[in-house]
Structure 1
Amino acid sequence: MKRAWKVSELARAEIRHGCSSNPRSLTHFLFTLKKSANHGSVRDLNVDADTHSSSSSSFDSSALFSNISRLFTAKSPTTLSETLTEDLAQEVAQLRDALARNLHDSDEVVRVLEENCGPLLRRFAGGSAIVHLLKQLDSRPSLALEGINELISVRWLLGSSFSFYQPKDFNYACKVLNWRRKQEDCEFPMTEEEYAKGIALAGKVEKVGLAIELFSEAANKQLRTTSTYNALMTAYMFNGYAHKCESLFWALKRDPNCSPTIATYNILILVFGRLLLLDHMKLTFKEIENLNLSPNLSTYNALITGYIRAWMWDDMERTFQLMKEGPAKPSTSTYLLMLRGFAHSGNLEKMEQMYELVKDYMTQKHNPLIRTMICAYCKSSGKERIKKIEELMRHIPEEDYRPWLNVLLIRVYAEEDWIEAMEKSIDEAFERKTTVQAIGVMRSITTTYFRSKAVDRLATFIKRAESAGWRICRSLYHCKMILYASEKRLEEMESVLNEMENSNLSQSKRTLWILYKSYLSCGQRNRAAQVIGLMCKHGYEIPMTVLPS
C-alpha cells in the first residue's frame, strides 16, 4: 500500500509540474451545445437556443458545460479514460444510482458515500473515482442539492464572504463534492482533477464564489494547475464575467509553474466571440500561431462560432476551408456549426450539403437547428420549399411548439396558396392562444382567401381573429366586401361597414371606392351615385369620368 501511495504521489507531482507541457491532453474542448448520447460527439451550437426568436441570444450554458468539462479533468501523461477500468465504471454507476434513490435523505446520502467511496479511493488512486462519479452526476441537473447543512458546517463551507448561497440552487453532484472536501483528514486528499471538476460544477450552477473558493483552496495546497485555471476561466465566461476571465488568463501567464495551453486560448477565443470582439479573437488566434501551438478542432470551432454570431459569413467559410486543408479536420460538430451558419446566411445549397453530412446524427436535441433550417426555407422563394419544410417539420414533435415558427408557417402557406395547410396552422395558433400582430401576415392570409374566393372562410377567420386579439386591419374588411360584391351579396357587403365601425376602423377613401365599384357592377347606379356624393362630402378627389353627365 505504501509503495502504491508513493507511485500515486509521484504521478500527481508529474501532472502538476507538467501541466503546461502537454497541450495534447486538453484537446477535447468543444464549443457547442449538445452532445449525442449515442455517438459521443458534440452536435449542436446555440447561437440561438431558439433560432428565430433569439438568434443572437446567449448560449445554453448548462449543456455547453457538460461538453467542455473534459477540458478540466484531462490528465497527463495518461488520460482519465485510460485509467478507468470497467470495474470502476460499473461500481461508480451503482454508486450513482444509490445516491439518486436517496435524493431527499441527506443522512442516507452521507452513509452511502462513506460506505462506498472509501474503498473506491483506495482501489483507484488519483481521485479518478470521484471525478468519474461527479461527471456522471453532472448529467442529472434536476437533482438539486438539499440538506447541505447536515453534511458539513455552513460556516466552514461558505465563510463570511459566501453567505448568499441557497442550498436548493446547487447541483446534486455538489453533495459528493462537499462530502469529499470534508474528507481532508483521510489518507487520500483531493487531487487537482477533483478541484478542477468541482470548479466547473460550481460555475455551471452559477456559483462563481464557490468556484473561486475551490480555486484558492487548490492553490493553498499547491494543486493549482492549468486545468484549474481553465475551469475558473470558463466559470467566469458562462456567468458573464468576461473581464475576470481575461484577467485570470494574464495571471496564468505570470504563474511560473503553469502556462497557457491551446485549450486556454480556445476559451479566450470563445469569450471574445461571444462579445463580438472579432479583432481580439483574431489576435488570439495569431498568438497561437506565434507560440507554435497547434490549433485543434476546438480552436476552429470556436472561431467559426464567433463568426456566426457576428454574421461574418466569408470568414466563417474561410476558417472552414483552413480546417479541410489542415490537420484538424472538420467533425460532426463543425458540420453542425456550418449548417447553422449557412442557414442564417440564406445559402440553401451549402446548407443542404451540410445537412446531408449530419442528418443521420441529428436527434431531438437538434430541434433548434431544424427550426433554423425551416426559417431559412421560409425566407427563400424556391419552388420546393414547402415540401422541404414539411419534411423537416416531421422531426419536430408537437409538444415542441414555437409560436414564432407557427406564424412563419402561416405566412409561407398563405404565400403559396396552400389554404388547407394555412388554416391548420391558424387553428393551432388559436388553440395555443398565440396572437398575431404582424400586419404583413394578416395581409398574406387575406390575399390567400381573396385568390381562392373563399369569402365565408374569410368571414369566419375575421370573427375568430377579432375575439383572439389578433391585429385587425382594413384590408381584411375590404377583401370581404369585394368578395361579397362579386357574389352579388350586397346586404352582407353593407354589413361589413358596421363591423368596421365596431372595430374602431373608420371608412377611408378606398372603402367608399370599393362600395362605388360594387354597386356599379351590380347595376345599382343610384346607390353608386350616393357613394360619390359621400366622397365629395368628405373632400376626396374624384375622377371626372365617374361624375354623372
Structure 2
Amino acid sequence: MKRARKVSDAVAAEMLMQICSLKTKSMSLFTPLSNIPLSSSRSFIRVISGQTHNCSSDGIPKSISLLTEKNTSLRLMGEKNLTQVVSELTNELTSHIGDSEKISAILEANNSFLIRSYCKGSAFFELLERLGSWPQLALEVFNWRRKQAVDSGIPMLSEEYSKGITIAGRAKNVNLALELFTDAVNQGIKRSCIFNALMAAYMYNGLAEKSQSLFRDLKREPTCSPTIVTYNILISIFGRLMLVDHMEATFREIQELNLSPNLSTYNNLIAGYVTAWMWDEMEKTFWRMEAGPVKPNVDTHLLMLRGYAHSNKLEKMEKAYELVKDHVNTKEIPLIRAMICAYCKSSDTDRIRKIEALLKLIPENEYRPWLNVLLIRVYAQEDMMEGMENSINEAFEHRTSVTTVHVMRSIIASYFRSSAVDRLAKFVKQAESASWRVCRSLYHCKMVMYGSQNRLEEMENVLDEMENFNIDPSKKTFIIMCKAYIKFDQRYKLERLLGLMCKHGFEIPLEVSPF
C-alpha cells in the first residue's frame, strides 16, 4: 500500500513537472487533458481532487503545495529580474543611439530574454514602453523583433503589431504604420486594437480624415467592432479640431451602444472643451465625473488647471493647482507658464509675488520669447523698473524682437512716470539697434521729458532721430516743443518753430501762440 502511494505521488509529481515545463517537446502549459496519456491523467486527476493521503491540512496535496510555493517565489523573482534587466537594457541601448550595428548586437545577445522566456513577450513590451522618449530607437528595436518573427518562427501577436503601429505613428512614419497594419491583416490578425492603433497614428500626425475613414471600415468588419478606445480616439480627434458637435454626438453614441465611458473618455471631452474655450461645458463634464463612478485623476486636474488659467479664473486655478502642485512643479513647465500668463493678464494685487514664485520653477533652458515680453509689460505696468529692465535685457540677449505697440507704450509710460529720461534714451537706442517696434510716442515721450528738464538741445535732437527712422513730425511734436520754449522763455525759438508749423500746414493752437 505504501509503495502504491509512492508510485502514485511520483507519477503525479512527474505529470506536474511536464505540464509546468516550458522546454518540454511533448506538451505545454496549454496541452488539454485529453492529450495526456490515460494512465498519467488518472493519477493527475486523483492528485488535484485530493484523492491521495499525502495532503496538507487545507486539503492541498503536499507535492502541489511545495510546487506552488516554489513557482510563486520564482515568479516574484522573475518579475523583479524583468524590471531590473529591462532597465539595464534600456540604458545600454540609449547609450548607443545612432549605432545600428551595436544596437542589433545588444538585442541579439538578449534574444532569449526578450522573446522566448516571458509569456507574450512581456519583457519586449516593457522595453518598448521604456523607450517611449526615443521613438526612433523604439522603432529600430521593433523592426528587429519583426525580423525575428521570420528568422525564429515565433510569430508576432496582435498586441505587438498594435505597439509597432503606435511607435511608427509617434515617430511620424505613417507609411510604416500603414504597412504594419496591412501586414497584420494579411496574416489574418484582424483585431480592434490594430484598427485603434492606426487610427491613433493618423490622429497623432494630423490625418483626421484618414482616421475617420478607418473607423468606418472597422464598423463594417464582421470579425471585430469598435471599442471604447476607438470612440475615445474619435472624441480626441473632434476635440482637437474643435468640432464640438461631432465630439458630443460621439459621446451620445457611446451611451446608445451601452459602452462604459472610461477615464480617457471624460479626459478627452474636457480637453476638447478646453481647446474650444467652452469653460462651462468643461466644468459640467468635471462635475459629472465627480458625481459618477469614473473619478478624476491627475490628468483631469491638469486639464482643469489649464482651462482655468486660459479663462483667467484665478481662484479656481489656484485651487486646481494645489491638488497637483508637486506634479506640476516638476513635470508640467507649460502649465506653469500658462499660470504666469494668467497672472500677467489679471488685476491681482499680489500678482508680482506669485509670478516670481512660479518663475523660479522654470529652468533656464526653458526660455520663451512670448513670456519674456509679457513679463516686460507686467513689470512696466507695476512701475518696477529693475524687473522691467532685467526682462528687457534678457530679451536683447535672446534676440527677442518686440513688435507690438502696446508693449512699447507700457515701457514708455513706466519711464515717464519714473521721470527716468536718461534710462529711456538708452532703451530707445537699444530698441532701434535690435529692430524693435519704434513709434512716434517713443520720441514724443523723450521730448516731453527733455523739455520739462530744460534740456532743450537734446529735445531738438530728437527730431533728427525721428527723421533717421522716417517718422515725420506731427502737430503734437511741434506743440510739445512750443510748450517747452514758452516754459523757459525761448521766444526766438518759439517764433521760428511757429513758422515751421505754418510751413507744414498746421494750425497754431491758442495755448502756444505768443500773440
How many Å apart are 1:266 and its aligned residue?
0.5
More RCO (CA 8 Å, sep 6+): 1
CA displacement, residues 181-200 of structure 1 (integer Å, 9 cap, x when unaligned)? 22235353221111111111
Contact 1:419 1:448 in 2 (8 A): yes
CA displacement, residues 268-292 of structure 1 (integer Å, 9 cap, x when unaligned)? 1001111111111001000111111
1:180 pairs with 2:132: no
Q: How does 1:82-481 map to 2 (within 5 A)?
A: 85-141=79-135, 171-183=136-148, 184-481=150-447
Taking a change above 3 Å as real, the CA distance of residues 350 and 295 of structure 1, as seen in their structure-2 partners, is same
Distance 2:278 2:330 in 1: 28
Distance 1:264 1:417 in 2: 54
How many Å apart are 1:232 and its aligned residue?
0.9
Taking a change above 3 Å as real, the CA distance of residues 425 and 99 of structure 1, as seen in their structure-2 partners, is closer
Distance 2:26 2:226 in 1: 31
How many Å apart are 1:545 and its aligned residue?
5.4
Partner AA of 2:317 in structure 1:
M
Contact 1:8 1:126 in 2 (8 A): no
CA displacement, residues 414-441 of structure 1 (integer Å, 9 cap, x when unaligned)? 1111111111111111122111111111
TM-score using structure 2 length:
0.82
Map of 1:154 onto structure 2: none
Contact 1:84 1:128 in 2 (8 A): no
How many Å apart are 1:8 and its aligned residue?
5.9
Contact 2:328 2:336 in 1 (8 A): no
How many Å apart are 1:315 and its aligned residue?
1.0
How many Å apart are 1:86 and its aligned residue?
1.9
CA displacement, residues 506-527 of structure 1 (integer Å, 9 cap, x when unaligned)? 2210011011100111122332
Distance 1:518 1:326 in 2: 72
How many Å apart are 1:125 and its aligned residue?
2.1
How many Å apart are 1:7 and its aligned residue?
4.1
Choose between structure 1 and 2: higher helix proportion.
2
Unaligned runs of 5+ in 2: 1-21, 33-74
CA displacement, residues 300-346 of structure 1 (integer Å, 9 cap, x when unaligned)? 11001111111111111111111111111111111110111111111
Distance 1:104 1:440 in 2: 48
Distance 2:481 2:147 in 1: 85
Map of 2:50 onto structure 1: none
RMSD, aligned α-carbons = 2.3
Partner AA of 1:126 in structure 2:
K
1:506 pairs with 2:500: no
Contact 1:127 1:190 in 2 (8 A): no
The alignment partner of 1:459 has SS state of helix
Taking a change above 3 Å as real, the CA distance of residues 99 and 411 of structure 1, as seen in their structure-2 partners, is closer
Taking a change above 3 Å as real, the CA distance of residues 94 and 8 of structure 1, as seen in their structure-2 partners, is farther
- Deviates most, 459-468 or 508-517: 459-468
Taking a change above 3 Å as real, the CA distance of residues 120 and 380 of structure 1, as seen in their structure-2 partners, is closer
* Bigger Cα Rg: 2
Partner AA of 2:291 in structure 1:
E
Equivalent pairs counted in the alignment come to: 450
Partner AA of 2:311 in structure 1:
S
Distance 2:80 2:161 in 1: 24
Taking a change above 3 Å as real, the CA distance of residues 221 and 5 of structure 1, as seen in their structure-2 partners, is farther
How many Å apart are 1:244 and its aligned residue?
1.6
Map of 1:151 onto structure 2: none
Distance 1:264 1:92 in 2: 30
Distance 1:278 1:333 in 2: 21
- Deviates most, 416-425 or 222-231: 222-231
Partner AA of 2:125 in structure 1:
V
Distance 2:241 2:369 in 1: 29
Contact 1:215 1:224 in 2 (8 A): no
- Deviates most, 510-519 or 258-267: 258-267
Partner AA of 1:93 in structure 2:
S
Distance 2:183 2:325 in 1: 46
Distance 1:120 1:453 in 2: 72
TM-score using structure 1 length:
0.77
Unaligned runs of 5+ in 1: 11-80, 142-170
Partner AA of 1:514 in structure 2:
I
How many Å apart are 1:547 and its aligned residue?
3.6
Distance 1:524 1:101 in 2: 77
Partner AA of 1:427 in structure 2:
N
Taking a change above 3 Å as real, the CA distance of residues 109 and 327 of structure 1, as seen in their structure-2 partners, is same
Taking a change above 3 Å as real, the CA distance of residues 271 and 484 of structure 1, as seen in their structure-2 partners, is same
The alignment partner of 1:346 has SS state of coil
Taking a change above 3 Å as real, the CA distance of residues 442 and 408 of structure 1, as seen in their structure-2 partners, is same
Distance 1:318 1:518 in 2: 61
Distance 1:114 1:473 in 2: 67
Distance 1:110 1:537 in 2: 83
Contact 1:273 1:303 in 2 (8 A): yes
The alignment partner of 1:514 has SS state of helix
Taking a change above 3 Å as real, the CA distance of residues 489 and 99 of structure 1, as seen in their structure-2 partners, is closer
Distance 1:9 1:210 in 2: 37
Contact 1:270 1:302 in 2 (8 A): yes
How many Å apart are 1:173 and its aligned residue?
2.0
Contact 1:130 1:194 in 2 (8 A): no
How many Å apart are 1:101 and its aligned residue?
4.6
